[in-house]
Amino acid sequence: MTWSEIWPLLQEASVATAIMVGVSGLFAAVFGLLFGVLLVLTDRDGLFPLPILNKLLGGVVNVGRSLPFIILMIAIVPFTKLVTGGSSIGTEAMIVPLAVGAVPFYARLVETALREVDPGVVAAARAMGASGREIVWKVLLREARPGLLAGLTVTVIALVGYSAMAGTIGGGGLGDVAVQYGYERFETKVMISTVVLLVVVVQLIQMLGDWAARRLSHK
């Protein structure tokens, strides 16, 4: 293959990867944050101890975390079909398993980041008469911002990896190109360029994440 043939291929694949990672990353950010906060709040020593809900939530998150993505992706095909209205392949369909895989992943990272917040600060806020909502928004989430961002960076990078796997069952994107052209057709040039592209993308995401986390950290 010549570069003029490879180039549009890579461009299209990059867009597909960006869509898969972007949309599922957004889901992970919103729901991961929600579940992570719930995990911390409902803990035995949390602000609103609800041990049963906590165990349940923790269990769900653990199941999601313990399945290798390639298995999860296949196992939830019926659910994917339900969400997309029939299709279980293609870029849009792949967003479903990616989001399902990334939400519990990020939820645990959120939980860890929130636990890093100095309990003394929470106690001080309670002593000032702050409400639970104020403590969550103004203390926990605010103080944990650098950690939450670092976690999101890790999650998005994991999603880039997952999306490559999604490519193998027809998800499109850079992984798909690498497998179809690089692996099955022995197009070394394609293989190398997807690898280089992935490395560059991951580097850029990491750098952006680090930069943002550093800006928000005043420790």
List of residues contacting other proteins (CB under 8 A)? 118, 120-121, 123-131, 134, 138-139, 142-143, 145, 216, 218-219
Distance in angstroms (rounded) separating the CA atoms of residues 188 and 75: 32
Q: Which of 70, 24, 93, 72 is nearest to 165 (CA)?
A: 70
Q: Which is closer to other proteins, CB of 19 or CB of 122?
A: 122
Token pair listed for 173: 């994107």
Considering the complex, what minimum distance in angstroms separates the CB of residue 120 from other proteins?
4
Considering the complex, what minimum distance in angstroms separates the CB of residue 64 from other proteins?
30
Burial level of 4, CB count in 10 A (0-12/13-18/19+)? exposed
Token pair listed for 182: 């690089």
Q: Which is closer to other proteins, CB of 85 or CB of 120?
A: 120
Q: Which is closer to other proteins, CB of 86 or CB of 129?
A: 129
Q: Which is closer to other proteins, CB of 127 or CB of 186?
A: 127
The separation between CA 72 and the C-alpha centre of its own chain, rounded to angstroms, equals 15
Considering the complex, what minimum distance in angstroms separates the CB of residue 130 from other proteins?
5
Considering the complex, what minimum distance in angstroms separates the CB of residue 139 from other proteins?
7
Give 47's DSSP letter.
S
